[in-house]
Structure 1
């Protein structure tokens, strides 16, 4: 089967979990004998092969570099938002690339800079079209369904610009043959708002690479080392932003009187200065910055419990799988798909978002008896079988062939 995957970005231009997921999907499909090509945006028009996958990058019509977005004039940013709704300037190039590859199926993902106009092109060319929802950009230009007006909470009354963005994307979702999402919650948020009314719908969880024998060895090491530790080591891994619940997590941790526990924070984002400042107020908090994949693994093996205090509707929560691969229980908020990944009281705990008392109580559960970590660590390892690459590929192949 000839499969074209379309996403805003592709490795090595990794912006988040979507790029990681698309790369794993592309490589997995290719390993099964399919012919895969990725179409994505870039600063320049280029073609290359990365890990055996053909990559075609094109510069979107009207694109500007978003890294220094505050240096871009307001009118230019407004034009960029309008183009992100329906960029007809991309039509010719998108059509050319699709015709050149002649895919049997197109699987679109994040569409910043590309826009849903590609859906109309696929329909016009009579090519089966699958769209995978990886965030809420179709509903919200800011992606998270939150804004400053609501102090980081869900936006109940979007402005006219946001409504235009949402209404246009909802209208054009009629071109999609099948929509998939990594969680039932994420899919329902869009379908409940009227998206993809005529499309087939399927939940296909994100997948992760792991060697079960290596995971079990990590678990054995955790059991052997636990008694040697003087206190419980908590860890946060991810973006340092308001919507990730960083302030709530740190405030809660600082309210714990136990002096032997520690909190390691890894990542980068808008709150880096705030996190760094907090370390000077409490020597139990350590900011280790942004880490590569190997460093992340080392950090997770040396700590005990992952904290995932998100304040927005997480579409999935890949960091939870990272914890499971390292035989760790997880304390997460009750936001988005996190509740589908963490089994409360089995592979960790689910707490009410922004509830300091609940979060503190769950952290104290481990502090009061470190041995409680082990049983939940065992349960977390057992969760992994749901998230194998092979299972995900099986599900996508069924969707493509329907």
Structure 2
């Protein structure tokens, strides 16, 4: 089988989880298929299409045909970024380039991912080839030209209408969570597409960390961007309100606009540690050392990668009941809390503190078992099944979650 994957960026150009997940998917599929990736480079038209091999995958880097390359987004203001995204609504030059490449490669199936910089119009590039299109939803960029949470409902509605028109050509749509899939289909996108939920694969070994389950004062951790939408302020407030015999140490690992302010507010409380951004291996070590992690986001996270990373080292997670997070959490009835509530986080801290050591050990074992549903082997199996059914003409349930949880 020959598969073309399309994504805005590809290794070594990485911004976030979408690029990581796309590379994992491509290299995993390369074990059983001829995989080509179409992505955008920072060069102009004179440079043409550059080709290279990475991890068994043939990568085609197209010159960007927009106001600027998406890899330079951090240097641009809000107006320039919005204008670039609006250009995605109709970018005939990019569609033409993609059509020419698809005609040369002649894939059996096209699997698009994030399309910022390409534009959803490239779905029309496959129209004359008779090749089915699968699309994976990893963010909300088809719904709005500005970042989520959506700040301009009218502009977002017009943008979503354009995306919906193009999406009529998509054969099957995949959400990395049931929430992100429902957000798009409720907005009228992918009216003719079969629907699936397939969570991201999260790399990393699965091994229980050594913990003193009978020690009562808790060591807790937060790992991620230290921004208002991540709910870190509420976590800090909740932890500060509890005495040292309940919460003994709080690690807030990551960088962001709130880090300095939060560190300053905690300067007289020696329990707090703000190590900043660290290498993945170091973050994983710290994650293994805490008793419990918190993911207190207040915005609609598309997925919950850090939740699975925590489970992989044997550390349970309490998380906000928002976005795609519930699909990733083990035992959501117990380990979810309302977003934006320091009081709810405080209650969960007291709840976990009160558990006997034997129960904490049982929870760790359950978390380790749960995260095995997010491996590369599981990702490969689910995608190959989807591709087989898509090529055969469909015939599967409209929405089937991969891990047995739909919220």
Instruction: Provide the TM-score with structure 1 as the length reference.
Output: 0.88
Question: How many residues in Structure 1 have an aligned counterpart in Structure 2?
Answer: 379
The separation in 2 between residues aligned to 1:370 and 1:385, in whole angstroms, is: 26
User: What displacement does 1:300 show?
Assistant: 1.3
Residue 266 (structure 1) aligns with? 253
The separation in 1 between residues aligned to 2:369 and 2:112, in whole angstroms, is: 32
Residue 378 (structure 1) aligns with? 365
Aligned partner (choices 211, 214, 226) of residue 240 of structure 1: 226
User: What displacement does 1:197 show?
Assistant: 0.8
Q: Name the CA shift for 1:356/1:188 in 2 (closer, same or farther; >3 Å).
A: same
Contact 1:182 1:204 in 2 (8 A): yes
The separation in 2 between residues aligned to 1:309 and 1:174, in whole angstroms, is: 36
Where structure 2 has 5 or more consecutive residues not aligned to the other structure, the ranges are: 391-407
Q: Name the CA shift for 1:267/1:105 in 2 (closer, same or farther; >3 Å).
A: same
For the pair 1:197 / 2:191, whether they are aligned, the reply is yes
Secondary structure of 2:191's counterpart equals coil
RMSD: 2.1
The separation in 2 between residues aligned to 1:296 and 1:319, in whole angstroms, is: 11
Secondary structure of 1:328's counterpart equals coil
For the pair 1:61 / 2:82, whether they are aligned, the reply is no
Residue 18 (structure 2) aligns with? 18
The separation in 1 between residues aligned to 2:279 and 2:67, in whole angstroms, is: 29
For the pair 1:82 / 2:86, whether they are aligned, the reply is yes
Residue 342 (structure 2) aligns with? 356
Contact 1:304 1:373 in 2 (8 A): no
Q: Name the CA shift for 1:280/1:162 in 2 (closer, same or farther; >3 Å).
A: same
User: What displacement does 1:339 show?
Assistant: 1.4
User: What displacement does 1:210 show?
Assistant: 4.4
Secondary structure of 2:256's counterpart equals coil
The separation in 2 between residues aligned to 1:356 and 1:30, in whole angstroms, is: 45
For the pair 1:331 / 2:331, whether they are aligned, the reply is no
Q: Name the CA shift for 1:146/1:273 in 2 (closer, same or farther; >3 Å).
A: farther
Aligned partner (choices 163, 179, 183) of residue 177 of structure 2: 183
Instruction: Provide the TM-score with structure 2 as the length reference.
Output: 0.87
User: What displacement does 1:293 show?
Assistant: 2.0
Residue 388 (structure 1) aligns with? 375
Secondary structure of 2:229's counterpart equals helix
Q: Deviations over 1:227-282 (max 9, x none)?
A: 5x673111111122221112222222222223552211122233333233334243
Q: Deviations over 1:364-388 (max 9, x none)?
A: 2233457243222111112023222
Map 1:2-401 onto structure 2 (within 5 A).
2-32=2-32, 34-44=33-43, 46-64=50-68, 65-70=72-77, 74=79, 76-147=80-151, 158-212=152-206, 215=207, 218-219=208-209, 221-222=210-211, 225-227=212-214, 231-258=217-244, 260-344=247-331, 349-369=335-355, 371=357, 372-401=359-388
Secondary structure of 2:103's counterpart equals helix
User: What displacement does 1:77 show?
Assistant: 4.4
Contact 1:135 1:143 in 2 (8 A): no
Residue 395 (structure 2) aligns with? none
Residue 399 (structure 2) aligns with? none
Secondary structure of 1:386's counterpart equals helix
The separation in 2 between residues aligned to 1:92 and 1:345, in whole angstroms, is: 46
